[in-house]
Amino acid sequence: MGPAASSGGAGLGVKLFFTLVLIGFLAAGYGGIKTYLDKTQESEALQERGVEADADVSTATEISGRRIETYHELSVFYDPEGPRILEFAVVKDCPGGRWEPGIETVRVVYLPNDPDTIRLAACESSFDVDKLPGIFGLVFFAFALFMLWRLRRLFTG
């Protein structure tokens, strides 16, 4: 018998494995909550300072497999306020504002001082974009805490 088996404790490999799994869950929880906070800030900024404009759709890519529903990534261009002549962006549709083939102009809302912050006007606040990452983040954190509690003897023994 090896030293770990004779002393009744877990081996270094088992401890290392569970430590890495725990770090992974904590990282996933942090990422989910950070995404939630960033998207919430973005949504609030769009609601408070957002400017609406008509945007022409140049290309549309249908995305399926990652979500239950199929959605589209639209490459759009629009004429922003101010000295800029033309701005290009990529926006995603949402369950409340699905894009359909044949629609050449969509309504977008963007931040004048940050043209990368842009959404379809119909998708300003979307559950799957805004709240779902936060829910997943909390679940991963809760699972990591539960795992830490259940494995406390592994690390102290």
Q: For the segment 24-40, what is each residue's pLDDT rounded down to a tens digit?
A: 999 999 999 998 888 88
- Flag whether 110 is in a domain: yes
Q: For the segment 71-101, what is each residue's pLDDT rounded down to a tens digit?
A: 778 888 888 877 777 888 888 877 666 777 7
- Cα(51)–Cα(45) distance, integer angstroms: 10
Tokens at 154, concatenated: 């592994």
- Flag whether 4 is in a domain: no
Nearest to 86 by CA among 53, 59, 60: 53
Beta-strand pair 114-120/87-92: unpaired
Domain count, the chain: 1
Whether the model clears a pTM of 0.75, i.e. scores above it, the answer is: no
Domain span at residue 111 reads: 9-156
- Flag whether 54 is in a domain: yes
- Cα(82)–Cα(157) distance, integer angstroms: 66
**In which residue are the tokens 């890495």 written?**
20
Residues 25, 140: contact at Cβ < 8 Å?
yes
- Flag whether 3 is in a domain: no
